[in-house]
Amino acid sequence: MPTTRPAPTASTASTPTAATTTASTPTASTTTASTTTAAPEHRRQLDLPGQTHVAEGPHDHTGMYVMHHAFRRDLVAFAAAVRATPLTADDTWRALADRWHRFATTLHHHHSAEDEHYWPVLLEAVEARGTATDLAEVHAMSEEHADIDPLVTACAGGFAALVDHPCEPHRNALDVRLTGLREVLGEHLRHEETVVLPLVQRVMTTEEFDRVEKAVARAYPLREVPFIVGWAMHGLPEEGRAAMFTGAGAPYRVLHALVRRRFERAEALAFRHGDRGTRP
């Protein structure tokens, strides 16, 4: 990846891309504006709803920001749907449980790719060009992933309970679990955006960043790519859509056109009783 580019491109370090069908592609908003790490010599990074920081620099974080947008967006939508869906809507609860499985699978692949491919290369870069404090911040990423995993599993159990036996106690228990996960995952995303992504810009070379992107692109299973494309683009502001289409190229645009309507039909079924907005 060159150090400067004329337009944002989609980073496979956080999303599988559909530049080919063999590459992977896979994001929510607060009223508080995100902060910015200034680097005027480089083209502008994305600043999406809910994002807490813009890490300017030579490495393109489009994919990471798009993924984060989708995770935040989904947790808002799940919480609204759990509170509003009638207990008698059996088909909707099954659809929500299935959709939670897709969310959890995507989050798992995202975190696994970071733990196995992104953070090890970043640690090498920090050891060569960073500080002891920087090392601690990178190690904290995997530790936070470990804290998130059981919360995701607990929510899956909550959806299963509502499918098997819909009742107010099960609804209330799942609502509490979703609230807890949103807080913990939200803090992790904030930490990554405000500390670790600026660190990537500061210490990683172009060769190191390119190596990460290629490794992560291979980490997402091909069978998951169609869902991730529809999921990542759903509710994404125009600036983000343009960046993804520009970076991933024509194959991404074609794949999105093929999967978009099917994805949106499934979303309409699962979230029919909640507010399926994009703002967290």
Q: Residue 214: its pLDDT value, please?
A: 85
Compute CA distances 95 → 43, 81, 161, 262, whole Å: 41, 11, 13, 14
Question: Which residue in 23, 63, 66 sits closest to 48, CA to CA?
Answer: 66
Confidence tier at 21 by pLDDT (50, 70, 90): very low
Ramachandran angles phi, psi of 53, nearest 5° = -160, 150
Does residue 195 contact residue 137 with C-beta atoms inside 8 Å?
A: yes
Q: What residues contact residue 104 under an 8 Å CB cut-off, 6+ apart? A: 152, 153, 155, 156
Q: What is the pLDDT of residues 150-205, one digit of tens each?
A: 999 999 999 999 999 999 999 999 999 999 999 999 999 999 999 999 999 999 99
Q: What is the pLDDT of residues 1-10, one digit of tens each?
A: 333 333 334 4
Highest mean pLDDT among 4-13, 93-102, 204-213: 93-102
Work out the average pLDDT over 93-118.
Answer: 97
Does residue 10 contact residue 244 with C-beta atoms inside 8 Å?
A: yes
Q: Residue 218: its pLDDT value, please?
A: 85
The whole-angstrom separation of Cα 19 and Cα 256 is 12
Burial of 19 (0-12, 13-18, 19+ CB in 10 A): buried
Q: What is the pTM of this model?
A: 0.84
Q: Residue 158: its pLDDT value, please?
A: 98
Beta strand spans in the chain (E): 35-37, 53-55
Q: Residue 188: its pLDDT value, please?
A: 98
The whole-angstrom separation of Cα 220 and Cα 214 is 11
Q: Residue 85: its pLDDT value, please?
A: 97
Confidence tier at 71 by pLDDT (50, 70, 90): very high
33 has a pLDDT exceeding 70: no
Compute CA distances 273 → 137, 139, 140, 156, whole Å: 40, 40, 37, 19
Confidence tier at 41 by pLDDT (50, 70, 90): low
Q: Residue 4: its pLDDT value, please?
A: 34
Domains and CATH numbers, the chain: 35-270 (1.20.120)
Q: Residue 25: its pLDDT value, please?
A: 39
